[in-house]
Protein backbone atom coordinates (compact mmCIF):
# COMPACT_ATOMS: atom_id res chain seq x y z
CA UNK A 1 0.00 0.00 0.00
CA UNK A 2 1.11 3.55 -0.67
CA UNK A 3 0.99 6.59 1.54
CA UNK A 4 0.25 9.13 -1.22
CA UNK A 5 -3.24 10.55 -1.37
CA UNK A 6 -5.48 10.87 -4.41
CA UNK A 7 -8.66 12.96 -4.22
CA UNK A 8 -11.79 12.18 -6.22
CA UNK A 9 -14.40 14.92 -6.60
CA UNK A 10 -17.85 13.53 -7.46
CA UNK A 11 -18.83 10.01 -6.44
CA UNK A 12 -21.12 9.04 -9.32
CA UNK A 13 -20.50 6.47 -12.04
CA UNK A 14 -17.06 7.74 -13.08
CA UNK A 15 -15.85 8.84 -9.64
CA UNK A 16 -16.50 5.33 -8.31
CA UNK A 17 -14.58 3.75 -11.17
CA UNK A 18 -11.57 6.05 -10.70
CA UNK A 19 -11.62 5.31 -6.96
CA UNK A 20 -11.39 1.60 -7.69
CA UNK A 21 -8.60 2.13 -10.21
CA UNK A 22 -6.49 4.17 -7.80
CA UNK A 23 -7.06 1.84 -4.83
CA UNK A 24 -6.10 -1.10 -7.06
CA UNK A 25 -2.59 0.40 -7.12
CA UNK A 26 -2.69 0.93 -3.33
CA UNK A 27 -3.18 4.72 -3.29
CA UNK A 28 -4.97 6.33 -0.34
CA UNK A 29 -8.13 7.59 -2.02
CA UNK A 30 -10.44 10.23 -0.60
CA UNK A 31 -13.85 10.73 -2.21
CA UNK A 32 -15.72 14.02 -1.98
CA UNK A 33 -19.28 14.82 -3.02
CA UNK A 34 -21.76 17.58 -2.32
CA UNK A 35 -24.39 14.93 -1.52
CA UNK A 36 -23.56 12.85 1.59
CA UNK A 37 -25.99 10.13 0.42
CA UNK A 38 -24.00 9.75 -2.77
CA UNK A 39 -20.86 9.14 -0.73
CA UNK A 40 -22.41 6.37 1.35
CA UNK A 41 -23.96 4.84 -1.77
CA UNK A 42 -20.56 4.99 -3.48
CA UNK A 43 -18.83 3.21 -0.59
CA UNK A 44 -21.47 0.52 -0.55
CA UNK A 45 -21.24 0.07 -4.32
CA UNK A 46 -17.43 -0.10 -4.34
CA UNK A 47 -17.35 -2.60 -1.49
CA UNK A 48 -19.75 -4.93 -3.30
CA UNK A 49 -18.04 -4.42 -6.65
CA UNK A 50 -14.49 -5.09 -5.34
CA UNK A 51 -15.61 -8.32 -3.70
CA UNK A 52 -17.56 -9.39 -6.79
CA UNK A 53 -14.49 -8.79 -8.96
CA UNK A 54 -12.30 -10.69 -6.50
CA UNK A 55 -14.71 -13.62 -6.48
CA UNK A 56 -14.54 -13.81 -10.27
CA UNK A 57 -10.76 -13.44 -10.37
CA UNK A 58 -11.08 -10.05 -12.09
CA UNK A 59 -9.83 -7.72 -9.38
CA UNK A 60 -7.08 -5.42 -10.59
CA UNK A 61 -3.75 -5.05 -8.77
CA UNK A 62 -2.07 -7.22 -6.15
CA UNK A 63 -4.06 -6.22 -3.07
CA UNK A 64 -7.14 -8.07 -1.86
CA UNK A 65 -10.60 -6.51 -2.13
CA UNK A 66 -10.54 -5.84 1.60
CA UNK A 67 -7.12 -4.16 1.43
CA UNK A 68 -8.26 -2.03 -1.50
CA UNK A 69 -11.45 -1.02 0.26
CA UNK A 70 -9.42 0.01 3.32
CA UNK A 71 -7.57 2.56 1.12
CA UNK A 72 -10.82 4.47 0.70
CA UNK A 73 -12.12 7.43 2.77
CA UNK A 74 -14.86 9.96 2.19
CA UNK A 75 -15.29 13.61 3.10
CA UNK A 76 -17.81 16.40 2.66
CA UNK A 77 -15.11 19.03 3.05
CA UNK A 78 -13.27 20.12 -0.08
CA UNK A 79 -10.37 21.49 1.98
CA UNK A 80 -9.89 18.13 3.66
CA UNK A 81 -9.98 16.48 0.26
CA UNK A 82 -7.26 18.67 -1.19
CA UNK A 83 -4.98 18.61 1.88
CA UNK A 84 -1.73 16.80 0.93
CA UNK A 85 -3.29 15.32 -2.22
CA UNK A 86 -0.80 14.63 -5.01
CA UNK A 87 -3.57 14.37 -7.59
CA UNK A 88 -7.29 15.13 -7.77
CA UNK A 89 -9.53 13.54 -10.39
CA UNK A 90 -12.67 15.61 -10.90
CA UNK A 91 -15.83 13.72 -11.83
CA UNK A 92 -18.75 16.12 -11.41
CA UNK A 93 -21.58 16.35 -13.98
CA UNK A 94 -20.96 17.79 -17.43
CA UNK A 95 -22.14 21.35 -16.71
CA UNK A 96 -19.63 24.04 -17.60
CA UNK A 97 -20.83 26.51 -14.96
CA UNK A 98 -20.51 23.79 -12.27
CA UNK A 99 -17.01 22.90 -13.42
CA UNK A 100 -15.95 26.57 -13.47
CA UNK A 101 -17.27 27.16 -9.98
CA UNK A 102 -15.55 24.03 -8.62
CA UNK A 103 -12.18 24.86 -10.22
CA UNK A 104 -12.43 28.37 -8.78
CA UNK A 105 -13.03 26.90 -5.30
CA UNK A 106 -10.17 24.45 -5.73
CA UNK A 107 -7.85 27.20 -6.94
CA UNK A 108 -8.27 29.01 -3.62
CA UNK A 109 -7.24 26.00 -1.53
CA UNK A 110 -4.88 23.91 -3.68
CA UNK A 111 -1.38 23.13 -2.49
CA UNK A 112 1.45 23.69 -4.93
CA UNK A 113 2.12 19.99 -5.64
CA UNK A 114 -1.47 19.00 -6.43
CA UNK A 115 -2.44 18.27 -10.01
CA UNK A 116 -6.13 18.46 -10.85
CA UNK A 117 -7.49 16.53 -13.78
CA UNK A 118 -11.01 16.51 -15.16
CA UNK A 119 -12.93 13.49 -16.44
CA UNK A 120 -14.90 15.75 -18.79
CA UNK A 121 -15.95 14.14 -22.09
CA UNK A 122 -16.64 17.36 -23.95
CA UNK A 123 -15.05 20.48 -22.44
CA UNK A 124 -11.57 21.57 -23.43
CA UNK A 125 -9.58 22.27 -20.25
CA UNK A 126 -9.03 25.95 -21.18
CA UNK A 127 -12.80 26.47 -20.80
CA UNK A 128 -12.72 26.03 -17.04
CA UNK A 129 -9.09 26.67 -15.99
CA UNK A 130 -8.26 29.99 -17.71
CA UNK A 131 -6.89 32.67 -15.41
CA UNK A 132 -6.64 30.41 -12.35
CA UNK A 133 -3.53 30.65 -10.16
CA UNK A 134 -2.91 26.89 -10.43
CA UNK A 135 -3.87 26.54 -14.08
CA UNK A 136 -0.41 25.11 -14.92
CA UNK A 137 -1.39 22.08 -12.77
CA UNK A 138 -4.81 21.55 -14.40
CA UNK A 139 -5.71 19.37 -17.37
CA UNK A 140 -8.11 16.66 -18.58
CA UNK A 141 -7.79 12.89 -18.25
CA UNK A 142 -10.83 11.60 -20.09
CA UNK A 143 -11.74 7.95 -19.47
CA UNK A 144 -14.06 5.81 -21.53
CA UNK A 145 -17.03 4.19 -19.87
CA UNK A 146 -16.68 1.75 -18.10
CA UNK A 147 -13.15 2.84 -17.09
CA UNK A 148 -12.45 -0.28 -15.03
CA UNK A 149 -12.79 -2.36 -18.20
CA UNK A 150 -11.70 0.05 -20.94
CA UNK A 151 -8.17 1.24 -20.21
CA UNK A 152 -7.88 4.20 -22.62
CA UNK A 153 -7.41 7.63 -21.06
CA UNK A 154 -7.08 10.77 -23.18
CA UNK A 155 -4.75 13.26 -21.52
CA UNK A 156 -5.51 16.76 -22.77
CA UNK A 157 -3.49 19.80 -21.66
CA UNK A 158 -4.72 23.40 -21.77
CA UNK A 159 -2.28 25.81 -23.47
CA UNK A 160 -0.91 26.71 -20.02
CA UNK A 161 -0.66 23.21 -18.51
CA UNK A 162 2.95 22.50 -17.58
CA UNK A 163 4.74 19.60 -19.31
CA UNK A 164 5.52 18.27 -15.81
CA UNK A 165 1.80 18.05 -14.94
CA UNK A 166 1.14 16.21 -18.21
CA UNK A 167 3.99 13.77 -17.63
CA UNK A 168 3.01 13.21 -13.99
CA UNK A 169 -0.55 12.37 -15.06
CA UNK A 170 0.67 10.06 -17.82
CA UNK A 171 2.93 8.15 -15.42
CA UNK A 172 0.12 7.88 -12.88
CA UNK A 173 -2.24 6.46 -15.51
CA UNK A 174 0.40 3.91 -16.54
CA UNK A 175 0.92 2.97 -12.91
CA UNK A 176 -2.77 2.17 -12.40
CA UNK A 177 -2.62 0.05 -15.59
CA UNK A 178 -4.62 2.43 -17.78
CA UNK A 179 -3.47 3.21 -21.33
CA UNK A 180 -2.95 6.95 -21.73
CA UNK A 181 -2.63 8.83 -24.99
CA UNK A 182 -1.48 12.44 -24.75
CA UNK A 183 -2.85 15.08 -27.09
CA UNK A 184 -0.17 17.69 -27.87
CA UNK A 185 -2.83 20.40 -27.57
CA UNK A 186 -6.53 20.61 -26.84
CA UNK A 187 -9.01 20.08 -29.64
CA UNK A 188 -12.79 19.88 -29.47
CA UNK A 189 -13.94 16.25 -29.06
CA UNK A 190 -10.39 15.12 -28.15
CA UNK A 191 -9.40 12.05 -30.23
CA UNK A 192 -12.00 9.41 -29.43
CA UNK A 193 -15.07 11.52 -30.05
CA UNK A 194 -13.66 13.11 -33.20
CA UNK A 195 -13.24 9.63 -34.66
CA UNK A 196 -16.45 8.24 -33.15
CA UNK A 197 -18.54 11.15 -34.44
CA UNK A 198 -17.17 10.72 -37.98
CA UNK A 199 -18.48 7.13 -37.83
CA UNK A 200 -21.86 8.15 -36.40
CA UNK A 201 -22.29 10.85 -39.08
CA UNK A 202 -21.88 8.28 -41.83
CA UNK A 203 -24.19 5.80 -40.07
CA UNK A 204 -26.89 8.48 -39.83
CA UNK A 205 -26.79 8.88 -43.62
CA UNK A 206 -26.67 5.14 -44.36
CA UNK A 207 -29.81 4.54 -42.27
CA UNK A 208 -31.50 7.69 -43.53
CA UNK A 209 -31.05 6.52 -47.13
CA UNK A 210 -32.25 2.99 -46.29
CA UNK A 211 -28.96 1.46 -47.38
CA UNK A 212 -28.44 -0.51 -44.16
CA UNK A 213 -30.33 -1.24 -40.98
CA UNK A 214 -28.96 -0.27 -37.57
CA UNK A 215 -28.41 -3.94 -36.77
CA UNK A 216 -26.42 -4.49 -39.98
CA UNK A 217 -24.30 -1.42 -39.30
CA UNK A 218 -23.47 -2.74 -35.86
CA UNK A 219 -22.56 -6.05 -37.49
CA UNK A 220 -20.15 -4.21 -39.80
CA UNK A 221 -18.38 -3.04 -36.64
CA UNK A 222 -18.66 -5.94 -34.20
CA UNK A 223 -18.15 -8.76 -36.74
CA UNK A 224 -15.85 -6.82 -39.06
CA UNK A 225 -13.87 -3.69 -38.37
CA UNK A 226 -14.14 -3.96 -34.58
CA UNK A 227 -12.52 -7.40 -34.49
CA UNK A 228 -9.36 -5.96 -36.01
CA UNK A 229 -9.54 -2.74 -34.05
CA UNK A 230 -9.64 -4.60 -30.74
CA UNK A 231 -5.93 -5.23 -31.15
CA UNK A 232 -4.58 -3.58 -34.32
CA UNK A 233 -6.00 -0.11 -34.89
CA UNK A 234 -6.84 1.29 -38.34
CA UNK A 235 -3.34 2.45 -39.24
CA UNK A 236 -1.55 -0.79 -38.41
CA UNK A 237 -4.39 -2.60 -40.22
CA UNK A 238 -3.68 -0.53 -43.34
CA UNK A 239 0.09 -1.05 -42.94
CA UNK A 240 -0.44 -4.83 -42.87
CA UNK A 241 -3.01 -4.88 -45.66
CA UNK A 242 -0.33 -3.95 -48.20
CA UNK A 243 3.42 -3.97 -48.30
CA UNK A 244 3.49 -1.16 -45.75
CA UNK A 245 1.53 2.07 -45.45
CA UNK A 246 3.17 3.79 -48.45
CA UNK A 247 2.15 0.89 -50.65
CA UNK A 248 -1.36 0.92 -49.10
CA UNK A 249 -1.85 4.62 -49.87
CA UNK A 250 -0.37 4.23 -53.34
CA UNK A 251 -2.80 1.38 -54.03
CA UNK A 252 -5.90 2.59 -52.18
CA UNK A 253 -5.42 6.34 -51.66
CA UNK A 254 -7.25 7.17 -54.89
CA UNK A 255 -10.16 4.89 -53.99
CA UNK A 256 -10.39 6.34 -50.48
CA UNK A 257 -10.56 9.82 -51.97
CA UNK A 258 -13.19 8.78 -54.55
CA UNK A 259 -15.46 7.25 -51.87
CA UNK A 260 -14.86 10.15 -49.51
CA UNK A 261 -16.00 12.61 -52.16
CA UNK A 262 -19.44 10.93 -52.07
CA UNK A 263 -19.94 11.59 -48.34
CA UNK A 264 -22.92 13.79 -47.62
CA UNK A 265 -22.71 16.98 -45.64
CA UNK A 266 -22.49 16.66 -41.85
CA UNK A 267 -26.03 15.77 -40.73
CA UNK A 268 -27.92 17.87 -38.23
CA UNK A 269 -28.75 15.36 -35.52
CA UNK A 270 -32.13 16.35 -34.18
CA UNK A 271 -35.57 14.84 -33.60
CA UNK A 272 -37.28 13.85 -36.85
CA UNK A 273 -37.92 10.89 -39.15
CA UNK A 274 -34.26 9.73 -39.29
CA UNK A 275 -33.94 9.66 -35.52
CA UNK A 276 -37.32 7.90 -35.28
CA UNK A 277 -36.08 5.21 -37.64
CA UNK A 278 -32.76 4.79 -35.80
CA UNK A 279 -34.44 4.75 -32.37
CA UNK A 280 -37.03 2.20 -33.45
CA UNK A 281 -34.34 -0.14 -34.74
CA UNK A 282 -32.08 0.36 -31.69
CA UNK A 283 -34.99 -0.37 -29.36
CA UNK A 284 -35.79 -3.48 -31.38
CA UNK A 285 -32.20 -4.67 -30.79
CA UNK A 286 -32.24 -3.77 -27.09
CA UNK A 287 -35.59 -2.75 -25.58
CA UNK A 288 -35.23 0.14 -23.16
CA UNK A 289 -36.12 -2.01 -20.16
CA UNK A 290 -33.23 -4.32 -21.07
CA UNK A 291 -30.54 -1.62 -21.16
CA UNK A 292 -29.24 -2.32 -17.64
CA UNK A 293 -28.99 -6.06 -18.30
CA UNK A 294 -27.20 -5.45 -21.58
CA UNK A 295 -24.74 -3.07 -19.88
CA UNK A 296 -23.88 -5.90 -17.47
CA UNK A 297 -23.28 -8.21 -20.43
CA UNK A 298 -21.13 -5.53 -22.05
CA UNK A 299 -18.94 -5.29 -18.94
CA UNK A 300 -18.60 -9.08 -18.78
CA UNK A 301 -17.58 -9.22 -22.48
CA UNK A 302 -15.11 -6.38 -22.01
CA UNK A 303 -13.55 -8.15 -19.05
CA UNK A 304 -13.07 -11.33 -21.05
CA UNK A 305 -11.71 -9.37 -23.99
CA UNK A 306 -9.18 -7.51 -21.87
CA UNK A 307 -8.04 -10.80 -20.32
CA UNK A 308 -7.60 -12.18 -23.84
CA UNK A 309 -5.72 -9.08 -24.96
CA UNK A 310 -3.11 -9.65 -22.23
CA UNK A 311 -2.10 -12.77 -24.17
CA UNK A 312 -1.30 -10.80 -27.33
P1 LIG B 1 -22.77 11.28 -12.32
O2 LIG B 1 -23.95 12.14 -12.46
O3 LIG B 1 -22.92 9.80 -12.25
O4 LIG B 1 -21.97 11.72 -10.98
C5 LIG B 1 -21.68 13.05 -10.66
C6 LIG B 1 -21.45 13.17 -9.17
O7 LIG B 1 -20.95 14.48 -8.89
C8 LIG B 1 -22.74 13.02 -8.33
O9 LIG B 1 -22.48 12.11 -7.28
C10 LIG B 1 -23.00 14.43 -7.80
O11 LIG B 1 -23.63 14.44 -6.54
C12 LIG B 1 -21.60 14.98 -7.72
N13 LIG B 1 -21.49 16.44 -7.76
C14 LIG B 1 -22.23 17.34 -8.41
N15 LIG B 1 -21.72 18.58 -8.22
C16 LIG B 1 -20.65 18.46 -7.42
C17 LIG B 1 -19.70 19.37 -6.88
N18 LIG B 1 -19.76 20.66 -7.14
N19 LIG B 1 -18.74 18.88 -6.09
C20 LIG B 1 -18.66 17.56 -5.84
N21 LIG B 1 -19.51 16.63 -6.32
C22 LIG B 1 -20.49 17.09 -7.12
O23 LIG B 1 -21.76 11.70 -13.48
P24 LIG B 1 -20.69 10.78 -14.23
O25 LIG B 1 -21.36 10.00 -15.30
O26 LIG B 1 -19.87 10.07 -13.21
O27 LIG B 1 -19.80 11.88 -15.00
C28 LIG B 1 -18.81 12.62 -14.33
C29 LIG B 1 -17.85 13.22 -15.34
O30 LIG B 1 -17.24 12.16 -16.08
C31 LIG B 1 -18.50 14.14 -16.37
O32 LIG B 1 -17.64 15.21 -16.64
C33 LIG B 1 -18.63 13.26 -17.59
O34 LIG B 1 -18.60 13.97 -18.81
C35 LIG B 1 -17.38 12.41 -17.47
N36 LIG B 1 -17.47 11.13 -18.18
C37 LIG B 1 -18.62 10.39 -18.10
C38 LIG B 1 -18.71 9.18 -18.79
C39 LIG B 1 -19.97 8.34 -18.73
O40 LIG B 1 -20.14 7.49 -19.59
N41 LIG B 1 -20.83 8.56 -17.74
C42 LIG B 1 -17.60 8.71 -19.54
C43 LIG B 1 -16.43 9.49 -19.56
C44 LIG B 1 -16.38 10.69 -18.88
Closest residue by CA, ligand 1 atom 20: 33
Whole-number percent of the chain with pLDDT over 70: 100
**Which range (183-197, 214-228, 236-250, 292-306) has the least confidence?**
292-306
- Decide: 35 in ligand 1 pocket, CB within 6 A: yes
Which atom in ligand 1 lies closest to the alpha carbon of residue 101?
A: 18
DSSP string, 265-284: PPPP--SSHHHHHHHHHHHH
The residues, any chain, with a CB within 8 Å of residue 227's CB and separated by 6 or more, are: none
pLDDT band with cut points at 50, 70 and 90 for residue 310: confident
Q: How far is the CA of 178 from the centre of ligand 1 (A)?
A: 20
pLDDT for residue 6: 98
> E-strand spans in 14-84?
28-32, 72-75
- Decide: 102 in ligand 1 pocket, CB within 6 A: yes
What's the whole-number mean pLDDT along residues 277-304?
Answer: 94
pLDDT band with cut points at 50, 70 and 90 for residue 305: confident
State how far the Cα of 161 lies from the Cα of 159, in Å rounded to an integer: 6
pLDDT for residue 50: 97
Which atom in ligand 1 lies closest to the alpha carbon of residue 118?
A: 32
CA distances from 56 to 106, 134, 301 (A): 39, 42, 13
pLDDT tens by residue, 28-51: 999 999 999 999 999 999 999 999
Query: Edge to edge, what strands does the sheet with 72-75 contain?
Result: 72-75, 28-32, 5-9, 85-90, 115-118, 138-143, 152-157, 179-182
pLDDT tens by residue, 159-169: 999 999 999 99
Whether residue 214 is predicted with pLDDT greater than 90 in this model: the reply is: yes
User: Do the beta carbons of residue 75 and residue 33 sit within 8 Å?
Assistant: no
Closest residue by CA, ligand 1 atom 12: 10
pLDDT for residue 197: 97
Which atom in ligand 1 lies closest to the alpha carbon of residue 17?
A: 26
Helix (H) / strand (E) containing 104:
helix 96-109
Closest residue by CA, ligand 1 atom 29: 91
State how far the Cα of 48 lies from the Cα of 52, in Å rounded to an integer: 6
pLDDT band with cut points at 50, 70 and 90 for residue 309: confident
Output Rg (C-alpha) for the chain, integer angstroms: 21
Amino acid sequence: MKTEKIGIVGSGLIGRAWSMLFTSAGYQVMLYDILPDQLSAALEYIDIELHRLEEHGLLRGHLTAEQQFKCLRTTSDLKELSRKAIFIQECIPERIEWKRSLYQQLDDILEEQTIVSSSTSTFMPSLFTEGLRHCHNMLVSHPLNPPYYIPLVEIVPAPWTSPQAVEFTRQLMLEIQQKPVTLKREVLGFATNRIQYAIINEIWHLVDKDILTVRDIDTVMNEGLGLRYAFLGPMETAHLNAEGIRDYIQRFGGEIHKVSETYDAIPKMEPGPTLDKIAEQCEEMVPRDMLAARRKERDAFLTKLSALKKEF
